[in-house]
Structure 1
């Protein structure tokens, strides 16, 4: 790995692990829906990253940025989508706290008896879509691919080098959020308590809603 690729690896890694809507989405779904749905989110994030990369490599991202009405429409759609996911997470959190308070059916080992029925099943395709849309509409990622990404292409290499860089970014996304998903799954002894899950869902829902407001007014 040459110096440019190593530098991009480090920059994109810190971009991935910094707090944002992607992290809020994974934490919410890993606690609310389970490992499989969270991993479907990760797949959606990775796919959308290639989409971002392609738009930047082909120069389309810059055109969108310079077309103000279109850029504003995309911002509004992104804000509304994040706001809807935030609302779903907050609603789910309050529902589970209410269930916990109404029915404290615990076994002797403090495992919630009805936990497996606490959440409605969500299709993996839906979770994949949520991951894809969250990454596509993530302003942090959009700015990165418009402002920073082209600088790594200034040394040449063309489309091939561009997708090598996108693959590095996608790998970092896959590795970090898969690790986070597995970590949350291993913490099930604590997270099986629906009240704990409820508070986590409410917090992540608030984070998603705040990001939606940030996008709207930036």
Structure 2
């Protein structure tokens, strides 16, 4: 019984993992900012947040958040503000590179970014995302065998998601770094930062408006 549930979950979570979203863009942006390590540490932060949501789902706190309007609204606004903050940071980077690139450089120097900063950005992006909380609340119970320990199963399923997402996002980080090595210039990075910043701000505004 559990085996059938597991394979169904694996298919569902794989499709979710490869679907582009805020996490994907954040990993790509940070990989372009500080290299492969920056992207992978950001991914580790994002994926660590999955255990937070799995724990809430298993304990039923996600359901409580849904039924408590002020708590869910607070989570939504915190997530919206964080997305807008990330977006403004990306736009500042785009403007910074525009003003600093009098002559087009073949390769942009990587920034020395503390690992704690990269991890924190990824973790907060995931933990403060109410859509992730809703997804875990709705999805995980469908794949938990009621005859077993719900908490242990939820963490195990989150662990599977962790491994899949880490592999996928680190692969994306490697691709970004590889493109840099074959000659991506200032304009391309500025475009990525501009698009990412606009996307984050738009998502934050939409989240706040819902």
Structure 2-normalised TM-score?
Answer: 0.92
- Paired residue for 2:164? 172
The CA distance in 1 between the partners of 2:183 and 2:82, in whole Å, is 27
Structural RMSD (CA)? 1.7
Question: Any idea what SS the aligned residue of 1:126 has?
Answer: helix
Runs of 5+ consecutive residues of structure 2 not aligned to the other structure: none
2:122 counterpart (119, 131, 134): 131
Question: Is residue 93–residue 199 contact of structure 1 (8 Å, CA) maintained in 2?
Answer: yes
Question: Is residue 191–residue 197 contact of structure 1 (8 Å, CA) maintained in 2?
Answer: no
- Paired residue for 2:18? 17
- Paired residue for 2:200? 208
Query: How many residue pairs are counted as aligned between the two chains?
Result: 208
- Provide closer, same or farther for how the CA distance between residues 87 and 190 of structure 1 changes in structure 2, counting only shifts above 3 A: farther
Runs of 5+ consecutive residues of structure 1 not aligned to the other structure: none
What's the offset of the Cα at 1:191? 5.6
- Paired residue for 1:85? 86
- Paired residue for 2:53? 52
Indicate whether 1:72 and 2:73 are aligned.
yes
Indicate whether 1:29 and 2:30 are aligned.
yes
- Paired residue for 1:148? 139
Q: Residues 131-161 of structure 1: CA distance to partner in whole angstroms, max 9, x if unpaired?
A: 0001112233112112122121254322222
What's the offset of the Cα at 1:172? 1.4
After superposing on structure 2, the runs of 4+ consecutive aligned residues of structure 1 that deviate more than 4 Å are none
The CA distance in 1 between the partners of 2:19 and 2:199, in whole Å, is 13
